[in-house]
Structure 1
Amino acid sequence: MAAAAVCVLPLLLQLPSPLGLLIGGSAVAVAALSWRKPLHALVRLLLTLTLLAAVIALSGSHFGRDTGCAILAAMLAMKPAETRGVRDARSLLGFALFAPFATFLLDQGPLSLLLGLAGVALALMALLRLTDIESGIRDATTTRARFGSVGRLVLLGLPLALAAFWLFPRLATPLWGVPERTLARTGLSDEMSPGDWIDLMADDTPALRVRFFGTTPPTSQMYWRGPVLSDFDGRTWARSRRSTGLPPAAVTRAKVLWDYQVEIEPTERRQMVALELPVEAPGDSRLGHDHELFSPRPLSSLTRWRMQSSPPETFEADLAGPLQQATLALPAGSNPRTRALAARWRSDADDDQAIVRRAMQWIRSDFAYTLSTPLAGRHAADEFLFDQQEGFCEHFSSAFVILMRAAGIPARVVTGYVGGYRNPIGDYWLVRRSDAHAWAEVWLDGRGWVRVDPTAAVAPERIYDTLDDRRPGADSLFGRMLGGDASRLFNATDWLRQSWNQLVLGFDAERQSRLLRPLGIERLDGVRLGLLFGLAAVSALLWMAWLSRRAERQRDPVLRAWHTLERRYRRLGLGRNPDEPAMTWAQRVADAGPGPADDLLRLSRRFSNWRYAGRDDHSARASRQLILSLRRHRPSPPHAASPGNGEHR
């Protein structure tokens, strides 16, 4: 039971918390209820159907790979209810071994690997124990001996596994895909409604890691561009379909160029992020009209992209009529107070930049930043600008864009991430999901789209939820134990995860083709990789055969030396018969020829005393001396081999 539970543990940790707790609690309850005797078949059926219904309900009645993994865990949770004997226990362990492998469909991190290996090792040890019990041997081997047996099995297959990982030819693109997750991860999406990002702002998990080559931009310029939202229905901002299929908008770039590699964590979406503005689409990705990046397939695993970005001097300076109308549109009758204020500002100034500056000054003087905000009503911008005047980036960007559109200035919302945290150990930048941000872009004559971040205009004394309060590791258990400063521990653990991503998860077809570059071989094609893998596989199989043969040999060094001595005489036709005592065999050899035969008689007598006499002959010194004598002895060719002598042991 314990071994099966350890096998399922890494899978439960990757499921949504309510689902994992439900399945884990059900497993404990079923094991407790069926400890003395198995549950009735009808009770088992009702419990199984109830648990399956709960899993499907919590998964939203959709089927994805996380739903399939949850169903597997649920079936394993019910399996103890019908476990009666050794055969059932073996079935339970056999099915439980599927759980660690299913975990890798959801996560390929080092923690999942370590927990999975622990589960597999315990399951194999439990299977060895069941074999002893089934054979009627209750106390045949100790736990340490079983652990050693499992370790030898792992050592036996490790070379072949490493050869397959490093040398088996990899495909640049997969032959098939796996179902997407039913329950999407928290992250950026194609829509944004003020107040909906509370869960995202509380998610401290990594979103991307970035390593710069050469110049690093200041953190004030680290705006990681994601979805651009232009359509507004009065409540929700969404990506515009009008720009779908259009070529990237014209950009005049500054002389600054940032070269970097971004490592994007799985999101189950095609949306990518890049530092504003990407120069071109990396690899097989696509650059949209608004300079958004899209992957050709959902990002269901860790991906790595080499990019270049530079800030724009002009960005779509000529805005087409339909796109201009789309970025000025507002729902009829919405936010009347905001419309009235925008009309007054427009009557006071015809300069769009003056209106933008006036709005930013108003935010700087009267508004505050906080995560504690009520849900927005029908006129969200009116409530925020005139009543609450407190909120976070969703509220600021949405209300600001509505105000600009009401004043006749094309504007839109851009979402993504802002800033980052530099890990001094690995010299890379970590961007977390809690760094998600929304800002505005306004279209100004002669410049095109210009980034405006109204949230950044809030006066420092009016920021009630500071970045210091949310620095990495501050809210963790270790952070509280260390007085709120767990940055060193956080840096070390995240660096280990990044190194794992780089070494293992990032080992793709391109890196495999450059595997032997340090040896002067620039690139390996599929044929060479196949030959290398074949050579390594044959070597690994020979290693496995040698270890297996070694495991079969006699473990006692004295007996091993004695059998070696017998083989020497067998080559001369004087081998010992299987039922022939040592002294009888030695006398027969002595009768067959002179020379060291007398020495063989003495060795045989010493061996018989060691084998069958008292414990004094088993001292370490006596055993070593006997082993040395047996190894040194060499036979002389006989004058004639006696008939009927044994040819095998």
Structure 2
Amino acid sequence: MLQRLTHLPREARDTLFLLAVIAWVILPQVERLPLWCSAMAAVVLLWRGHIAVQGQSLPARWWLLGLLALASAATWWSYKTLLGRDAGVTLIVVLLTLKTLEMRARRDAFVIFFLGFFTMLSNFFFSQSLLTAAAMLVALLGLLTALVNAHMPVGRPPLLQAAKTAGWMALLGAPIMTVLFMLFPRIAPLWGLPGDAMSGRSGLSGQMQVGSIASLALDDSIAMRIRFDGQPPTQTDLYFRGPVLSSFDGREWRALRSSFPARYQLGADLQVQGSPVNYQVTLAANNRPWLIVLDATPTKPEIAGYTPTMGPDLQWLTDQPMSDLVRYRATSYPQFRHGPTRLAVGLQDYVDLPSGFNPRTLQLAAEMRRSPELANAQTPQLVDAVMQRLRTGGYTYTLEPGVYGTHTADEFWFDRKAGFCEHIASSFVLLMRALDVPARVVTGYQGGQVNNVDGFWTVRQSDAHAWAEVWVAGQGWVRVDPTSAVSPGRTGTVVRLLPPQNVFTQALNTVSPGFAINLRAIWEATNNRWNQWVLNYSQSKQMDLLRNLGFDAPSWEDLSYVLIALVVLASSVGALWTLWERYHQDPWLRLLHRAQTQMRKAGWTVAPQDTPRQLASTLQTHASADPRSAAAAAWLLRLEAWRYAPQAPATLAALRRECRQLPWPIRLP
């Protein structure tokens, strides 16, 4: 089989190479394309490869029209539209593969090349990771190789020769692309194409069902990276605030929708103290409008292209969902107080409980209130009593507590006694409300791990966490993490509940656990550099570059001037290079070319390949009628002698002067 492939005609060989490149371009899209689209693409490419190997004729046009109609109907069925990012990418993949079935001439191949370039770029609509960029660089070189190969003359030039030419083309174009990337004005981060509104992203949600955050613990992807300017806070202070959930309908927690008039609703009333913590966050795209910041952040985070605002629950929101990787700076104070210090009407929203749910939890609260030691207890004593129950009641922290039913708090407190952080936080808040203590659930991330390669703190989706806040008279809202009573290692160290590992990871950890950890740290640090310097090369960095070039107050006009100046400079360098190359070209050939030009102007018929002796012979036929012909012929023979005689009768400089002074004879009729 291999021998047969090596002896295929050039057309079949080139077709198979192009099909392999197309398959590589489409491969990263497979997990996002509908199953039918991936299957159709694979079948069409295999079909076209079979046609090339067997030398069969291409299918009739009605086949293509039928497949296109079928693909269009399937796209509509999958997305209920033919427009938008997902539907558009699906159609372009279908068109690219179907076009290979009508590749009869070089013109058809060129259409496929440029469809391939567009499909290659569409990969960046979904992911701009370093791995995706590396895969698309290989695809780019493959398409360039196929394009160069299509321009080569007939015969069987090796693909390696075309690949070398394509590599040099890409290498020569790299400086131009780098300059355009750094200086071309931009109004958003790279590939700032808004994601489709319905495309879900992994991460925190605006509502919480008991068990939903546990699913995030199975996601080991990176939620954000943080670089602290100085000493980072302790592990127990690393609470990154996300959505605050205060309304419970018996099954799901949601953000508060108060029924009180605005004048009775609670404000933030934030008061900070102690030393600030300055840091920079690189937040992964989540298609959500909230900024994840360290508790608590009184000042507006610095983020380009968005307008953040802080709500009364200290959560920072932006004016639009963040569908791209974003970077921002923030200043937080781990020591803070917020909320009203005295009883207020709005606190009633935080003690409301839905009727008909968790009757045993309500009974437990009543029994606690009737006990002598808690009959007149204040909120701190009630919190301590509940936390003590969590410590000593046999409760466990687990990712697999089983499926909870209707009365989630009852099941946690009395039946299962096992749960993830949201099981514990939700049950704690419901019990506190049953004790007539205002309480609410806060979601976000807790902890993280420093990458020793680049010094960035990495916070993963598996670090998603839920904790509680209770209202204490004279203090306002106070953070209480009931999970720390069940599993102190969850918030005090970097201990996490890890999802099951795959076979490769288990084998690598068995051989060398340290090597696996170091390899992962190096990869994540490299990917972080890609995110910092490429994906987040924003307007501010462009302006910083101009400041480094000496501009005091850079603007878009200055950026345009620098770009134009570099274009002019590059053009001038190219022109000078051309002149230098012409000057250092073989001076004898240039002098012969000048003689040929003069003879053509004089009316002589001269071929480009004529030698000086042939030109002299042509002139000598008219030497008897025109003495100038004899002089010109003698000059041409001296030119030939300078090149080939052991001892030239004249120098090249002298021959050049004679050429300028020589009266070239006009051809007589």
TM-score, scaled relative to structure 2 = 0.81
Q: How much has 1:591 moved relative to structure 2?
A: 6.2
Q: How much has 1:13 moved relative to structure 2?
A: 2.6
Letter of the aligned partner of 2:315 in structure 1? E
Q: Which residue of 2 aligns with 1:583?
A: 613
Residue 155 of structure 2: which of 138, 143, 165 is its match? 138
1:235 corresponds to 2:255: no
Q: Which residue of 1 aligns with 2:438?
A: 410
Q: Which residue of 2 aligns with 1:532?
A: 562
CA contact (8 A) 2:266 2:347 kept: no
1:297 corresponds to 2:320: yes
Residue 563 of structure 1: which of 583, 586, 589 is its match? 589
2-structure distance, mates of 1:368, 1:572: 99
Q: Which residue of 1 aligns with 2:332?
A: 309
CA contact (8 A) 1:160 1:541 kept: no
Q: How much has 1:296 moved relative to structure 2?
A: 2.1
Letter of the aligned partner of 1:422 in structure 2? V
Q: Which residue of 2 aligns with 1:355?
A: 382
Q: How much has 1:311 moved relative to structure 2?
A: 2.5
Q: Which residue of 1 aligns with 2:396?
A: 368
Q: Which residue of 2 aligns with 1:225?
A: 241
Secondary structure of 1:208's counterpart equals strand
Secondary structure of 1:334's counterpart equals coil
CA contact (8 A) 1:370 1:391 kept: yes
2-structure distance, mates of 1:632, 1:323: 101
Residues 41 and 62 (structure 1 numbering): CA distance in 2 closer, same or farther, change over 3 Å?
A: closer
Residues 460 and 270 (structure 1 numbering): CA distance in 2 closer, same or farther, change over 3 Å?
A: closer
Letter of the aligned partner of 2:346 in structure 1? L
Q: How much has 1:123 moved relative to structure 2?
A: 1.6
CA contact (8 A) 2:342 2:473 kept: no
2-structure distance, mates of 1:631, 1:384: 104
Alignment of 1:31-430 (within 5 A): 31-34=45-48, 35-36=50-51, 37-39=57-59, 44=64, 47-48=67-68, 51=71, 64-132=84-152, 137-139=154-156, 141-171=157-187, 178-242=194-258, 249-283=268-302, 284-318=307-341, 321-348=344-371, 349=374, 350-365=377-392, 366-430=394-458
Letter of the aligned partner of 1:369 in structure 2? Y
CA contact (8 A) 2:296 2:336 kept: no
Letter of the aligned partner of 2:47 in structure 1? L
Secondary structure of 1:386's counterpart equals helix
Secondary structure of 2:400's counterpart equals coil
Secondary structure of 2:322's counterpart equals coil
Moved more, 302-311 or 512-521: 512-521
CA contact (8 A) 2:424 2:483 kept: yes
CA contact (8 A) 1:19 1:58 kept: no
1:90-129 Cα distance to aligned partner (Å, 9 max, x none): 3333212111211222222222222222222212222333
Q: How much has 1:585 moved relative to structure 2?
A: 4.6
Q: How much has 1:329 moved relative to structure 2?
A: 1.1
Secondary structure of 1:470's counterpart equals coil
2-structure distance, mates of 1:451, 1:300: 30
Moved more, 186-195 or 355-364: 355-364
Q: How much has 1:295 moved relative to structure 2?
A: 1.8
Q: Which residue of 2 aligns with 1:621?
A: none
2-structure distance, mates of 1:279, 1:228: 17
Q: Which residue of 1 aligns with 2:521?
A: 491
1-structure distance, mates of 2:93, 2:158: 31
CA contact (8 A) 2:396 2:486 kept: yes
Moved more, 153-162 or 526-535: 153-162
1:19-54 Cα distance to aligned partner (Å, 9 max, x none): 366533331222223432545666655655555555
1-structure distance, mates of 2:586, 2:196: 58
Alignment of 1:546-557 (within 5 A): none
Q: How much has 1:531 moved relative to structure 2?
A: 1.1
CA contact (8 A) 2:125 2:191 kept: no
Secondary structure of 1:209's counterpart equals strand
CA contact (8 A) 1:369 1:391 kept: yes
Residues 108 and 313 (structure 1 numbering): CA distance in 2 closer, same or farther, change over 3 Å?
A: closer
Letter of the aligned partner of 2:389 in structure 1? W
Letter of the aligned partner of 1:280 in structure 2? T
Q: How much has 1:193 moved relative to structure 2?
A: 0.3
2-structure distance, mates of 1:22, 1:345: 60
CA contact (8 A) 1:63 1:182 kept: no
Q: Which residue of 1 aligns with 2:28?
A: 13
Q: Which residue of 1 aligns with 2:622?
A: none
Stretches of structure 2 that go unaligned for 5 or more consecutive residues are 1-15, 52-56, 620-627
2-structure distance, mates of 1:630, 1:234: 107
- Count of aligned pairs between the two proteins: 616
Q: Which residue of 1 aligns with 2:4?
A: none
CA contact (8 A) 1:191 1:237 kept: yes
Residue 472 of structure 2: which of 411, 422, 444 is its match? 444
* Aligned-CA RMSD value: 4.1
Q: How much has 1:323 moved relative to structure 2?
A: 3.0
Residues 400 and 5 (structure 1 numbering): CA distance in 2 closer, same or farther, change over 3 Å?
A: farther
1-structure distance, mates of 2:525, 2:651: 54
2-structure distance, mates of 1:631, 1:343: 117
Residues 396 and 42 (structure 1 numbering): CA distance in 2 closer, same or farther, change over 3 Å?
A: farther
Stretches of structure 1 that go unaligned for 5 or more consecutive residues are 608-624
Letter of the aligned partner of 2:498 in structure 1? R
Residues 519 and 530 (structure 1 numbering): CA distance in 2 closer, same or farther, change over 3 Å?
A: closer
2-structure distance, mates of 1:598, 1:83: 56
Residues 636 and 119 (structure 1 numbering): CA distance in 2 closer, same or farther, change over 3 Å?
A: closer
Q: How much has 1:470 moved relative to structure 2?
A: 3.4
Residue 43 of structure 2: which of 29, 39, 52 is its match? 29
Residues 311 and 155 (structure 1 numbering): CA distance in 2 closer, same or farther, change over 3 Å?
A: closer
Q: How much has 1:205 moved relative to structure 2?
A: 1.2
CA contact (8 A) 2:598 2:664 kept: no
Moved more, 95-104 or 237-246: 237-246
Q: How much has 1:525 moved relative to structure 2?
A: 1.7
Secondary structure of 1:355's counterpart equals helix
Q: Which residue of 2 aligns with 1:601?
A: 640
2-structure distance, mates of 1:638, 1:435: 86
Q: How much has 1:263 moved relative to structure 2?
A: 0.8
Q: How much has 1:397 moved relative to structure 2?
A: 1.0
Residues 239 and 48 (structure 1 numbering): CA distance in 2 closer, same or farther, change over 3 Å?
A: farther
Q: Which residue of 2 aligns with 1:507?
A: 537
CA contact (8 A) 1:565 1:633 kept: no
Secondary structure of 1:426's counterpart equals coil
Q: How much has 1:66 moved relative to structure 2?
A: 3.2
Letter of the aligned partner of 2:438 in structure 1? P
2-structure distance, mates of 1:335, 1:174: 50
Secondary structure of 1:357's counterpart equals helix
Residues 425 and 147 (structure 1 numbering): CA distance in 2 closer, same or farther, change over 3 Å?
A: same
2-structure distance, mates of 1:214, 1:631: 75
1-structure distance, mates of 2:266, 2:180: 43
Letter of the aligned partner of 1:19 in structure 2? L
2-structure distance, mates of 1:432, 1:536: 42
TM-score, scaled relative to structure 1 = 0.83
Q: How much has 1:598 moved relative to structure 2?
A: 7.6
Percent same amino acid at aligned positions? Answer: 30
2-structure distance, mates of 1:122, 1:412: 56
Q: Which residue of 1 aligns with 2:547?
A: 517
Q: Which residue of 1 aligns with 2:5?
A: none
1:261-311 Cα distance to aligned partner (Å, 9 max, x none): 111111111111100011212133111111111122221111111101113
Secondary structure of 1:638's counterpart equals helix
Secondary structure of 1:187's counterpart equals coil
CA contact (8 A) 1:65 1:182 kept: no
